Amino acid sequence: MGSRGETLMNDLPKGRPLAIDATAQSASPTEPAFVARPEGAPVYHGFVVLDDVTADGFTLGKITDVEAEPCDEGDAFVIAPDGSRAGLVWEVCDPSYFREVMPIEAGRWGGWRVGFSLPMNSRENARRNLESILPELKLRWAEWKARFSGSPKR
């Protein structure tokens, strides 16, 4: 019979591995770049950009390291052709969906909760999932550009 402490420990949410870009410059000698973003660096600086996961000029970046540990939900970001960025909170589900979780602001064209139909277990599936939300991403990016004149930094 397990102790109450063991039960509580088993009920705690499990963290997911972060996809940290070890080559990203930090503004601090003791903190990683995603915590201590250098002045002028874009949002999500310090996380891994998947240069080979692109669709129509948009590139996927990962915050949750799905290549280190498979999972059905996580965090990512998208880089538009002009370098501006938006956040993604994703899950694998059916049916797919696209919803706002953070409004558009000067330095980021929003944060979006999305449902992907394919598991994020390969870069090809990641690219296909990115393609599946491109129409929505393009609309939000165009709205951001119209409101903020395309200023990707901060």
Domain-wise residue ranges, the chain:
48-148
Asked whether the predicted pLDDT for residue 149 surpasses 90, the reply is no
Rounded to whole angstroms, the Cα distance separating 102 from 44 reads 14
Per residue in 30-82, pLDDT tens?
999 999 999 999 999 999 999 999 999 999 999 999 999 889 999 999 999 99
- Which amino acid is it at 116? F
Among the residue ranges 1-5, 52-56, 121-125, the one predicted with the least confidence is 1-5
Residues 6+ apart with CB under 8 A from 82: 145, 150, 152
